[in-house]
Each structure stands twice: as C-alpha cells, then as structure tokens.
Amino acid sequence: MQADPIRNALKSGRAVSNVWMMLGSGLALELAAKAGWDTVTIDLQHGQGGFRDMVAMITAANAASIPALVRIPHNEPGLIHRALDAGAQGVIAPMINTREDALNFASAGKYPPVGERSWGPVRARLVTDDDYSSYANDWTFCCVQIETQQALQNIDEIMGVDGVDCVLVGPNDLCLSLTRGKKLDIRDASVLEALDLIVEKAREHKVAAWCFANDTDYARMVIEKGFQIVTAGSDVGFISAGAEANLKEVFGK
C-alpha cells in the first residue's frame, strides 16, 4: 500500500503542520517543502491558480515527498474527482453545512462500497507501483470545512458520515456566521467555544481535527486545544511579512 504520511504523522500525537498555498506556484510549494512543513494545501477556492497550476503543484509536491491536499471551490463531484485523479492525497470541501452535504462530498471522494467516486485516476496511478484501487479509499483524505452556525448545529450528523476523514475549521467565516456579520474576530468568545466543541466531537467520531490559524499565537492556542492539524502560514503571508520586514529594516518604513 502507498505510504500515508498524513495518518502516520497523526498517529505520532504531535501537531501536524500545514502551509496554505494561494499563489498557484509550484516553486513556492517546493520552497515550503524544503522548509520542512508536513503537509501543503493548494487553495482553488480563494487562491489564484487554476487546474493546470494545481497539477503542476501536485507534481512538485510528489517530487518533494510532501502530501498535497486541494481545497476545491465548492462541493461538486467533478472538482473532487479532478483533484484526486491528478494525484492529490486529500481534498477539502468548503461550506459543508448538513449531513447531505457531507454525504455528497464523501460519495464523490471514495470508491464503492464507501462512495460512488468515478474511476479515472490518470495521474494518481503514477504515485505508486501498487494498484491504486486497492488502497485509494484508505489513503485519500476527505476533509469537510465547518464554517457556519448551521454546520455546528449539524456537527454530529456531518462527522458521522462514512468517508469523512477530517474536519477543518475556518474561524473567519465561522465568526461572521455566529455573529451575523457583526464581527470578524477569530478570538470572539463564540468562536472559541465552537473550537472546543469541534475538537470534542472530532474525538467522539474519530476524525481528525484541523484548524486554519490566522497567526502564530492563534496556532499555538489551537494546538493546546487539541487540534491535530494546524495551518500556521501561507505563501501570501510569508511574502507580505518578509517584504514589510525588509523594507522597515533597510529603509525605516
């Protein structure tokens, strides 16, 4: 069976690091892999890359031996199939609010008997010498995003769907939903309470708990809360921070 660095890292008990890629750049991904991040997410929802960029980035990730996950723009089977068929180990679906949403997602991400994924792993079959069909369901990592009050209300039903391997919290959207658009504060009490609930439910349902952290302090906090996978930076953030720091250091502004 194909090596499974994501689940192996989760078994270690330490927090698994994830870097978010929004520029659509294979070189940026290689630099992140060289730095030592555990996993990489290719963002097709809010990122700047398209399908060809995604394939190039997955290829770069394979060469650098770093697991690549793809966040698709929305929960649509064709998008899920294309990401997995291109060789991504995982796929992330945003705005999963109901059990039906989760069922549709898992069905597209897993082959029978778990789901109804269509056969056609053109590039995915190149990642190993083994038979892809024999391990795909256990190897692929299907992650649902919890970003709304409705999703919180349906959390047990969503996490209970067979084929859902992980739950990813988007604190920004979650705060907007919980405060009805009045705040964009990921440290709001309602968000912090929701984080605790999600970790608790993830343990009950034996799915991995993942959080997107906007800054390093938040990342450390959610690790202490028990999140197993933490996104602690992005290519856009690293470039912005480095550019600002260099300008200030050299030119004083």
Q: Which residues are catalytic?
A: 46
Picking from 243, 219, 239, the residue whose alpha carbon sits closest to that of residue 229 is: 219
CA angle at 221 for the pair 64 and 161, rounded to the nearest 5°: 70
* CA 245/CA 253 separation, integer angstroms: 9
Q: Which secondary-structure segment (H or E) carries 2? A: none
Write the DSSP assignment of 198-252 as a string of letters.
HHHHHHHHT-EEEEE-SSHHHHHHHHHHT-SEEEEEEHHHHHHHHHHHHHHHHH-
The beta strand positions in 72-204, using DSSP E, are: 90-93, 141-146, 166-169
Distance, in Å, from the CA atom of 140 to the CA atom of 39, rounded to the nearest integer, reads 14
Question: Which residue in 14, 71, 15, 61 sits closest to 41, CA to CA?
Answer: 71
**CA-to-CA distance for 177 and 104, rounded, in angstroms?**
23
DSSP label at residue 124: G
